């Protein structure tokens, strides 16, 4: 309560304050029949007794007629609640304040929605009136937890480990590869700035500059269009260190998260487990596995290799062909025939992959189109390999290794959703399973042109020391020094050891990625002036906080987020500007015909 005119907040009064005269400020949460109201501020609620005596009739009239969500000042005496009227659900439930004077500081007009967490509001309405939505307990709690975590991160990095907090420019130039960047026009004809998708180049240049340890709560920008649960502007905990290896970065981040972890959440244990990219793909079908539940992908190629089943023999005839399966525990009990059909349809529509189901009957026998082609020995081996139990359902796929794994990985998550919707608890949102995924490929084929390569992480990632020679002979086989941090099946961080040799960086850009290295000439030149070995990581703060508080969307942990389509519905941005405003930037807008007509009207 320092620096302000209140004596206490609405959440701090207790029985020890009985008899004290207090002044409270807050919003009217609700009012009942002119007898009492509940006053709310950022810290909690306090019950205010409205005076009924004639001497204070003006106070009664004022408080009885104050619209909900009006801002009021109340001065009064803290009193114990009458016996039997205590409210154990309220921290201030043992007391009430008997109002002596009051003032309406600002009356509230009719609200577009009630300020209560349990009242459902449309996403668009919440975005349009974000300043009202921010009054909800949940959003207040989320933002305050976020603030506390960031402060503890600063303490850990700067005070305990000597990191330097450096602000890097927002106006810069285009970076090759990666996500699309927002362009900002300049007053020089035809020249544009780009908003950085991360401070990647700057933090490497800070290492060349000898700062040794850099940290920033960095604002980043990506023009990714309409993507669910993504934001065009977002926040990273950005870190870079000199003379460090992958293990050093991992230990730093584990310590950082332990130090800043909210006390009210389940403890996290370190070191975090680790698995390679290939292991993650083979067992979970994704590079960001949710390890809170089982249902791992199992390879049953050897069990079925000797069978005469046509699709099995066909799949195994290819170099990377395999037969894999996932087992859905108690699937018969929890999944309907419609559910199973939706799983198979999903595999077909997303991956063009056929799925065969196998059901384990109560007597231990198998029900499937497949079983009539299998002998008793093969059936027994299949039951043993999949560890089948009564009422389990198996989803089996045959084909190229990566496609089969990706398909079954998606079905694993889809099945978990269906099981939980049917009442089987699989993934506890109050537990936190961190995982390092390492040894990613350095390059991947481009989706639009598989004969060309792109960086799996970004073009500044160093090759794995064991594979360095392959960079010049067979770059497709090179593993990288790239590492991702995964939490409950979500990527919350990614980083790498960087290329610190100018010639190697130039080779990757020009020969492997076919990019114009001139765009990065400043960085390549910097690497020629005694650049130290260095590496770093960026944690996605929005995603991390949303998982910690179990928010349905990252928009629930950002004060003023954009909508699904990247619009600010409150301020109606982006908006039109006049030709006169565009003139200094040498820009003319070419309007689509329908928009021309709309502007005329």
Q: For residue range 506-518, what is the model confidence (pLDDT) as tens digits?
A: 999 999 999 999 9
pLDDT for res 228: 64
| Position 593 pLDDT exceeds 90 | no
Angle at which helices 246-260 and 137-154 cross, to 10°? 130
| pLDDT above 80 (res 178) | no
DSSP string covering 544-566: HHHHHTT-SSGGGGSSS---TTS
Q: Can you give the pLDDT at residue 597?
A: 58
Q: Of the given ranges (7-21, 304-318, 489-503), which has the lowest mean pLDDT?
A: 304-318
pTM: 0.93
Q: Model confidence at 118, in pLDDT bands (50, 70, 90)?
A: confident
What's the pLDDT band for 135 if we cut at 50, 70, 90?
very high
- Say what the pLDDT of residue 478 is: 97
Rounded to an integer, the average pLDDT of 16-20 is: 97
The 10s digit of each residue's pLDDT in 376-409 is 888 999 999 999 999 999 999 999 999 999 999 9
598: pLDDT confidence band, cut at 50, 70 and 90? Answer: low
Range with the poorest average pLDDT among 12-16, 66-70, 368-372 = 368-372
Read off the pLDDT band of 374 (50, 70, 90).
Answer: confident
CA 539 – CA 559 distance, rounded (Å) = 19
Nearest alpha-carbon partner for 356 in 397, 323, 411, 387 = 397
Q: What is the pLDDT of residue 594?
A: 61
Instruction: Summarize pLDDT for 548-590 with one digit per residue, the tens.
Output: 999 999 999 999 999 988 999 999 999 999 999 999 999 999 8
Q: Please identify which residue in the block is written with the tokens 């070191």.
A: 271
Q: What is the pLDDT of residues 40-51, one digit of tens each?
A: 999 999 999 999
Rounded percentage of the chain residues whose pLDDT exceeds 70 = 98
Question: What's the pLDDT at 370?
Answer: 86
Cα–Cα distances in angstroms (integers) from residue 202 to residues 147, 173, 214, 314, in the given order: 25, 12, 10, 52
**Beta pairing partners, 25:** 73
Number of H helices, E strands in the chain: 20, 22
Domains and CATH numbers, the chain: 15-106 (2.40.50.140), 139-275+433-556 (3.30.930.10), 293-422 (3.30.1360.30)
pLDDT of residue 203: 98
Per-residue pLDDT reduced to its tens digit, 233-270: 999 999 999 999 999 999 999 999 999 999 999 999 99
What's the mean per-residue pLDDT of the chain?
94
Q: Which band of pLDDT confidence, cut at 50, 70 and 90, is reported for residue 601?
A: low
Q: What is the pLDDT of residue 477?
A: 96
Taking the alpha carbons of 563, 567, 568, 570 in that order, is the dihedral positive or negative? negative
**Percent of the chain residues past pLDDT 90, beyond the cut:** 87
The confidence score (pLDDT) of residue 595 equals 62
Is the per-residue pLDDT at 599 higher than 80? no
Plot region of 285 (φ>0 → left; ψ -120 to 50 → alpha; else → beta): left
The stretches of 293-391 forming alpha helices (DSSP H) are 301-304, 310-316, 331-334, 337-351, 376-386
User: How much is the average pLDDT of 583-599?
Assistant: 77
Say whether pLDDT at 19 is over 70.
Answer: yes
- Token pair of 125 as six digits: 């309405």
Can you tell me the mean pLDDT for 274-279? 98
């Amino acid at each position: 309560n320092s620096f302000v005119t209140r004596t206490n907040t609405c959440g701090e009064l207790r029985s020890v304050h009985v008899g004290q005269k207090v002044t409270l400020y807050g919003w009217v949460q609700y009012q009942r029949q002119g007898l009492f109201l509940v006053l709310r501020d950022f810290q909690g609620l306090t019950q205010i007794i409205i005076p009924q005596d004639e001497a204070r009739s003006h106070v009664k009239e004022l408080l009885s007629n104050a619209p909900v969500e009006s801002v009021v000042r109340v001065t009064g005496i803290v009193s114990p609640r009458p016996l039997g009227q205590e409210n154990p659900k309220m921290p201030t439930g043992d007391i009430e304040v008997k109002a002596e004077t009051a003032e309406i500081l600002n009356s509230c007009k009719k609200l577009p929605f009630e300020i209560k967490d349990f009242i459902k509001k449309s996403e668009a309405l919440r975005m349009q009136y974000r300043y009202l939505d921010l009054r909800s307990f949940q959003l207040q709690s989320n933002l305050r937890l976020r603030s506390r975590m960031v402060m503890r991160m600063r303490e850990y990095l700067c005070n305990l480990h000597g990191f330097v907090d450096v602000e890097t420019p927002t106006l810069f130039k285009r970076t090759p590869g990666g996500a699309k960047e927002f362009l900002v026009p300049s007053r020089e004809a035809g020249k544009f700035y780009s908003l950085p998708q991360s401070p990647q180049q700057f933090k490497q240049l800070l290492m060349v500059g000898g700062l040794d340890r850099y940290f920033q709560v960095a604002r980043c920008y990506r023009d990714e269009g309409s993507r669910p649960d993504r934001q065009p502007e977002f926040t990273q905990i950005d870190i870079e260190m000199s003379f460090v290896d992958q293990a050093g970065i991992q230990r730093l981040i584990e310590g950082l998260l332990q130090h800043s972890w909210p006390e009210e959440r389940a403890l996290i244990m370190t070191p975090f487990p680790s698995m390679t990219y290939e292991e993650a793909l083979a067992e979970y079908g994704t590079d960001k596995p949710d390890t809170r539940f089982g249902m791992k992908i199992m390879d049953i190629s050897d069990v079925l290799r000797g069978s005469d089943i046509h699709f099995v023999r066909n799949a195994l005839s290819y170099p990377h062909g395999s037969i894999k399966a996932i087992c859905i525990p108690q699937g018969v009990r929890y999944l309907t025939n419609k559910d199973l059909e939706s799983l198979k349809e999903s595999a077909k529509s997303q991956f063009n992959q056929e799925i065969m189901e196998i059901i384990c009957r109560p007597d231990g026998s198998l029900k499937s189109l497949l079983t009539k082609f299998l002998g008793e020995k093969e059936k027994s081996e299949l039951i043993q390999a999949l560890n089948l139990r009564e009422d389990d359902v198996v989803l089996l796929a045959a084909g190229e290794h990566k496609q089969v794994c990706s398909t079954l990985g998606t079905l694993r998550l889809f099945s978990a959703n269906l099981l939980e919707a049917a009442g089987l608890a699989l993934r506890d949102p109050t537990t936190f399973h961190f995982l390092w995924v390492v040894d990613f490929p350095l390059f991947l084929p481009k989706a639009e042109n598989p004969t060309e390569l792109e960086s799996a992480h970004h073009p500044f990632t160093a090759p794995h020391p064991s594979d360095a020679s392959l960079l010049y002979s067979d770059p497709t086989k090179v593993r990288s020094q790239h590492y991702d941090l995964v939490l409950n099946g979500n990527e919350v961080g990614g980083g790498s050891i960087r290329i610190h040799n100018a010639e190697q960086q130039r080779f990757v850009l020009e020969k492997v990625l076919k990019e114009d290295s001139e765009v990065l000439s400043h960085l390549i030149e910097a690497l020629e002036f005694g650049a130290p070995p260095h590496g770093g990581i960026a944690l996605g703060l929005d995603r991390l906080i949303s998982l910690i508080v179990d928010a349905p969307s990252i928009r629930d942990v950002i004060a003023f987020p954009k909508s699904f389509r990247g619009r600010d519905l409150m301020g109606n941005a982006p908006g039109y500007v006049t030709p006169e405003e565009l003139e200094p930037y040498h820009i003319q807008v070419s309007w689509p015909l329908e928009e021309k007509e709309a502007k005329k009207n």
